[in-house]
Amino acid sequence: MSRGPSVAVIGGGIAGLVCANRLAQLGISNVVVFDTGRHGPGGRCSSRHVNISGRLQTFDHSAQYFTVSDSRFAKVVSYLDRKGAIKIWHGKLGTLKRGKFTEDKNLTQAFIGKTGMEDIPKCLAETLNVKQGTWAGNVVWEGTAGKWNVDRHGMFDYLVIAHNGKCADKLMSNAGAAAVHKLTQVRFSDRLNPKDKRMHLCSIWALLVCFPKSLELKFEGAHVFDDEDISWLANNTAKLSNGHQSPQQECWTVFSTRQFGTKHKCSQENIPPGVEREVKSRLLEGVRRVIGVTCLPEPIYTRVQLWGAAVPLNVLQGGEECVFDGRCNVGICGDWLTSPCIQGAAVSGLALAEKIHKHATGENKSSTSILPEFKAADGEVIGAFPTNSQMVFHKT
């Protein structure tokens, strides 16, 4: 049975995994997903497990929840729901200003992974050929053969770049697809320079912290809008516990503002101990300040992590949702092409799968426009997701 043309997907985040699944649905099942993640795919939608005094705790250390406002994405969500990978976060979510919490009554449905956000990529990867812990370092378009040579992994008819930032830039620099390479050039900053026609990515610090007792706050997740250092905090224990909380441990995920990310930027793989100490103490102090208490219980676990290429501040203009160059069978998908959130990444992956399918079947041989024109992404919050989405998802 024909499995269609072969496709190499470089990046096993939401965009790459959704793209590979949609390709399979369309009859192109000869797809290999390469992902660097050692513990599992997912990229910026993942969880960290830590043994704290004999208890295994889960922290969602990147994406916190997602919303649905796109009907194509709703089908993906429906699949995740049928597979039991997601649930609705029923805890109180809202905003925190000067110690005062206001519930977001417009937030119709906030979805989370059933036992952590990593359940989402795990479920999407179930039926795919994913090469885990695999770094694709070199790709070359062999024009005469009309194929992509991917490292030592062989030749593929199509190449999908499903990641962004420096990695994509480096990967494409000698690939023989100049127009696509131009798009992957990146600038790291916390604010947009509209004259600079590159993708802008910001950096965010995450603090994972476990307290020996409950902070007894009346919310489970809050966007913080008026603090220099803190942009989000969430009670992982309550979020993932289904109401069965351990009174001895309460685990929180805290995100910095992007300005804080720029100010304390360093190599994310090699954080100098001095920076780690300072970031930890400033973020803990920030938590104390934004929840409006005089002191916090002494944490029994803390860890800071830098998301160096956290979220795009701008997205590609033109509304195409993905980029495809039919002259050399290469496409790009990811949140930076649509909207910097789970839904945005998924929609981009879906759009690229359709493009490749149409190209492979000869239905449409054209490329998408690949001018490096960016516009500011909507919203200021992490993920810039549509929290007041009008679409209410129904079980199918």
**CB 78: neighbour CB atoms within 10 A?**
16
Q: Rg of the Cα trace of the chain? A: 21
Based on the shown chain and the rule CB under 6 A, indicate whether residue 331 belongs to the binding site for ligand FAD: no
**CB 348: neighbour CB atoms within 10 A?**
31
Beta bridge partners of 147: 142
Q: Contact 11/43 with Cβ under 8 angstroms?
A: yes
> In this structure, what are the phi and psi dihedrals at residue 130, rounded to the nearest 5 degrees?
-110, 125
Among the listed ranges 4-12, 75-83, 271-279, 289-297, the one in contact with ligand FAD (CB under 6 A) is 4-12
Residue with smallest beta-carbon separation from ligand FAD: 13
Based on the shown chain and the rule CB under 6 A, indicate whether residue 11 belongs to the binding site for ligand FAD: yes
Could you say which of 68, 93, 159, 171 contacts ligand FAD (CB under 6 A)?
171
Could you say which of 6, 8, 9, 16 contacts ligand FAD (CB under 6 A)?
16
Among the listed ranges 122-130, 174-182, 338-346, 357-365, the one in contact with ligand FAD (CB under 6 A) is 338-346
Please list every residue from 85 through 114 that binds ligand FAD, using CB under 6 A: none
Could you say which of 4, 7, 8, 13 contacts ligand FAD (CB under 6 A)?
13
How many CA atoms, within 13 angstroms, populate the side-chain half-sphere of residue 218? 9
Picking from 274, 278, 266, the residue whose alpha carbon sits closest to that of residue 229 is 278
Runs of H (alpha helix) within 99-164:
119-125
Least separation, in Å, of the C-beta of 382 and ligand FAD? 4
Least separation, in Å, of the C-beta of 222 and ligand FAD? 12
Quick one: 24 or 107, whose CB is closer to ligand FAD? 107
CA 64, 68, 70, 71 torsion-angle sign? positive
Least separation, in Å, of the C-beta of 146 and ligand FAD? 23
Quick one: 104 or 212, whose CB is closer to ligand FAD? 104
Could you say which of 86, 162, 180, 313 contacts ligand FAD (CB under 6 A)?
162
What are all long-range contacts of 47-53, with beta carbons under 8 Å and residues at least 24 apart?
A: 47/113, 47/116, 47/117, 47/118, 48/208, 48/303, 50/208, 50/210, 50/301, 50/303, 52/210, 52/249, 52/251, 52/300, 52/301, 53/248, 53/249, 53/300
Quick one: 48 or 163, whose CB is closer to ligand FAD? 163
Tokens representing 263 are: 């100010």
Based on the shown chain and the rule CB under 6 A, indicate whether residue 345 belongs to the binding site for ligand FAD: yes
Based on the shown chain and the rule CB under 6 A, indicate whether residue 190 belongs to the binding site for ligand FAD: no
Based on the shown chain and the rule CB under 6 A, indicate whether residue 156 belongs to the binding site for ligand FAD: no
Q: Contact 265/201 with Cβ under 8 angstroms?
A: no
Residues 53-82 as x/- pattern, contact with ligand FAD by CB under 6 A: ---------xxxxx----------------
Q: Contact 61/47 with Cβ under 8 angstroms?
A: yes
Least separation, in Å, of the C-beta of 280 and ligand FAD? 16
Please list every residue from 261 through 290 that binds ligand FAD, using CB under 6 A: none
Could you say which of 315, 335, 374, 377 contacts ligand FAD (CB under 6 A)?
335
Residues in the chain: 396
Chain-centroid distance, C-alpha 281: 26
Could you say which of 94, 113, 334, 386 contacts ligand FAD (CB under 6 A)?
334
Based on the shown chain and the rule CB under 6 A, indicate whether residue 254 belongs to the binding site for ligand FAD: no
> Alpha-carbon distance 52 to 314, whole Å?
38
Least separation, in Å, of the C-beta of 359 and ligand FAD? 21
DSSP secondary structure string for all residues of 229-293: SEEEEEEHHHHHHTT---TT-EEEEEEE-HHHHHHT---TTS--HHHHHHHHHHHHHHHHHHHT-
Based on the shown chain and the rule CB under 6 A, indicate whether residue 24 belongs to the binding site for ligand FAD: no
Q: Note the residues at the interface with ligand FAD (CB under 6 A).
A: 10-16, 34-37, 43-45, 62-66, 135-136, 162-163, 167, 171, 204, 206, 255, 307, 310-311, 334-335, 340-342, 344-345, 382-383, 385
